[in-house]
């Protein structure tokens, strides 16, 4: 038994090896970051940081395009993963955190302070889930629902970041 990994994931009782070998689950689990026994959402957001750092090196339109693609693809990825795991919005599904972090940081000038603040604010809104995030999390089903609460948390975090920076 690992202190980092669970013995199995979801009601389908999938192993970490099964998740890593399945392309949809590998993406849904944030390239393996969602396999973490502790704080998988935070680990998924951490997995978004190198993606963010890579994207800010290029033109802004590429960043926006990748963010939009991650959102749209995320609906299907998260829906298929939930079906395979036989659990709606399983904690290890962290693609929504990756897309959410990219939304939070969209069009902000880079600094290490903005990176840390964006990370902390996104995690805060994603964990605390103030209205309407909690309502959306409980009432909107499927891949769209899995993505939607994180998108709204990201928009809250982004709004605070725009005011702050």
The answer to whether position 4 is within a domain reads no
Task: Evaluate if residue 154 carries a pLDDT over 70.
Answer: yes
Q: Tell me, what's the pLDDT at 5?
A: 82
User: How do residues 15-58 score in pLDDT, each as one tens digit?
Assistant: 999 999 999 999 999 999 999 999 999 999 999 999 999 999 99
Query: Helix (H, G, I), strand (E, B), or coil: what is residue 2?
Result: coil
Query: What single DSSP character describes residue 87?
Result: S
- Within a 10 A sphere around the Cβ of 91, how many other Cβ atoms? 16
User: How do residues 93-134 score in pLDDT, each as one tens digit?
Assistant: 999 999 999 999 998 999 999 999 999 999 999 999 999 999
The answer to whether position 134 is within a domain reads yes
Distance between CA atoms of residues 99 and 159, nearest Å: 16
Q: Tell me, what's the pLDDT at 103?
A: 98
The answer to whether position 7 is within a domain reads no
What confidence category does residue 6 fall into, taking pLDDT thresholds of 50, 70 and 90?
Answer: confident
Q: Find the domain containing 95 and state its range.
A: 16-164
Distance between CA atoms of residues 82 and 159, nearest Å: 30
The answer to whether position 160 is within a domain reads yes
Domain count across the chain: 1
Query: Helix (H, G, I), strand (E, B), or coil: what is residue 158?
Result: helix
């Amino acid at each position: 038994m690992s202190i980092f990994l669970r013995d199995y994931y979801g009601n389908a009782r999938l192993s970490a090896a099964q998740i890593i070998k399945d392309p949809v689950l590998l993406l849904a689990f944030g390239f393996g970051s969602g396999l973490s026994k502790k704080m998988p959402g935070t680990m998924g957001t951490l997995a978004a940081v190198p993606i963010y750092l890579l994207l800010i090196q290029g033109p802004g339109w590429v960043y926006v395009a990748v963010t939009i693609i991650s959102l749209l693809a995320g609906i299907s990825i998260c829906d298929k993963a939930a079906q395979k795991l036989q659990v709606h919005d399983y904690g290890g599904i962290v693609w929504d955190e990756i897309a959410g972090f990219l939304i939070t940081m969209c069009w902000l000038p880079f600094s290490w302070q903005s990176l840390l603040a964006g990370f902390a604010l996104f995690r805060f809104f994603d964990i605390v889930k103030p209205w309407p995030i909690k309502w959306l999390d409980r009432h909107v089903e499927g891949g769209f629902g899995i993505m939607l609460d994180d998108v709204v948390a990201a928009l809250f975090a982004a709004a605070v970041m725009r005011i702050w920076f």
